[in-house]
Amino acid sequence: MAEPPLPDFSQSVKLKYVKLGYQYLVNNFLIFLLLPIMAALSIEILRCSPQDLINLFNSMQFTSIHIICSFFLIIYTLTFFLMSRPRPVYLVDYALFKPPRSFRVSFGGFMEHARIVLATEPKSVHFQMKILERSGLGQETCVPPAMHYLPPRPNMQLAREEAELVIFSAMDSLFLKTGLKPKDVDILVLNCSLFSPTPSLTAMVINKYKMRSNIKSFNLSGMGCSAGLISVDLAKDLLQRYPNSNAVVISTEILTPNSYLGKERAMLLPNCLFRMGGAAVLLSNRRADRRRAKYRLAHVVRTHKGADDRAYGCVSQEEDPEGHIGIKLNIDLMTIAGEALKSNITTIGPLVLPASEQILFALSLIGRKFFNSKSKPYIPDFKQAFEHFCIHAGGRAVIDELQKSLRLSNEHVEASRMTLHRFGNTSSSSLWYELSYIESKGRMKKGDRVWQIGFGSGFKCNSAVWKCNRTIKTPVDGPWADCIHNYPVYIPEVVKLQ
C-alpha cells in the first residue's frame, strides 16, 4: 500500500506564521533584550527613597571639576558626532519629458520603415519583427523626427535639435514645479551616453538659461543606461563637499545620431527597443528643503565588472563590415547582468536587509562553503527591505530575469513593465518614469522605501535607495497624467505582426 504523500510544508499557513514570528523576534532582538533590563532598573529606583538616592550620589564623591570636565566631554562628543555625519541629500522634485504624439511610432509604421530601408535584407526585417513582437513595447512609444524620415537622417543638426527639445522641456518643467531659478543652481550634472558634442550638453544648458559663471558642471558620456544613478552618486558626493547647495541632474539618451542602418542582427536590436525620454532631478542638502522634498537618499551602491573581458565587451559601439555604426549587444548579456546584480546585492544587502534575512543568508553561505557547495544559495527576501522596485526597463527579458532572481510579485515589477510598454527603453531616464508611475497610482506613502536598479555598458549594475519623505499626492500633470487610468494593461507574450 502506497504511503500518502507528505504535505507541502513550504505552503503551510502555520509555517508562514512561524517565519513571521522569527522575523519579528530577530528584527526586534535589542528591544526584547533592553526591556527587562530597563524594567529591573526602574523597579530598583522606585524601591529607593529620595534620601537613598542622595546618599548614592554623595558616595560617588563628584567634585565641581569632575562635573565640568564631564559636561565638556559630552558637548565635545555630540559636536564631533554631528559634524562628522554625512549631510542628508533630499530629492526635492523631478520632471520628465513627454514626447508629442506626432513622434509616435506604431508597430506598423516601424515595420514599414524597416521594409523600405532594408528592402534587400528580408531576413533582417523578419528578425526585427520577431523582436518587436516579444519586446513588451506598446503602440505609443516615440522616436525623434530624424528617424521618421526615409531613409533616417542621423545628422548633427537634428541631433542637437532633439537634445534641446528633450532637455529644455524637462528643465522648464522642473523650474516651474520647484520654483527654482536658473541662477540659483549650484551644481549641474548631465549624462548622455552616445551623443557628446562640443560644446558639451551641459554648456548648452548653461547658455540657454544664462546660469552663473561659478556653477560646477559635469558632462558624463559612454556610461550606458545606468549612468543616471552614477550622476546621482556624483551629485551626492559634491553635496557632501559643498554645504547649503543644490544640484540638478539631467538624464537622457539622444537617439538621432545612433540609428543603425545596417543589417547585423546584434546591432539591430537597439533600434527595436530604444525610444525618446529624459528626466531632470533637483537634489539638495539644505535644511529648508527637508519639508517639501519628496525623498531622502539613503544609499547608492555601484558595481563595475569592467575587469572581466566578457563583461567589458558585452555592450559596445562598433562599426559593421559595411561601415555602419551601431550598438552591439552580445548573446551572453543576460548572464553578465545576472553576475553584476549578484555582486551588487551582496554589497547592498547588509545596508538594507533586516537582521532576520541577514542571518539566514549568512547561515546559507556558511553551509555552502563548509558542508554542501552544491546546495542552492539562499536568496534574501528584499520585499522585507523595500515597498517599491524600479528596475531598468531595458527590455522584457531584463525585467523577467530580475523578477525571477529576486522573487518579486507581478505588482512589484508593474511599474517597470508599464513604463516599457508606454515609453519603451528610455535608457538612464527609465527609472524616473517608473517612479512617476508609482506616484501616479497613488501608492507612495511616507516612510516607503524605493530600490532603483540600473544596468549599463562596461559592465555596470548600480543601485539607489530612497526613503519617501511625505505621502505623495497623485500628480495632475506629467507623462502619465492622460493615460494612467488605462494602466496596468495586459501584455501578451507575443503580439503577432503581419
- Give the catalytic positions in this structure: 225, 304, 388, 392, 421, 425
**Distance between CA 232 and CA 453 in Å, rounded?**
13
Residue 340, C-beta contacts closer than 8 angstroms, at least 6 positions apart: 303, 305, 311, 455, 459, 460, 461
**Distance between CA 274 and CA 129 in Å, rounded?**
15
Pick from 446, 434, 438: nearest CA to 228: 434
**Distance between CA 201 and CA 197 in Å, rounded?**
7
**Beta-ladder partners of 300:** 464
**Distance between CA 430 and CA 278 in Å, rounded?**
8
CB 128 within 8 A of CB 266: no
Side by side, the strands of the sheet bearing 216-220 are: 216-220, 187-191, 246-252, 278-284, 90-96, 295-304, 460-468, 449-456, 388-391
User: Cell numbers of 186, please?
Assistant: 549650484
Q: Are strands 460-468 and 449-456 parallel, antiparallel or unpaired?
A: antiparallel
**Distance between CA 254 and CA 99 in Å, rounded?**
13
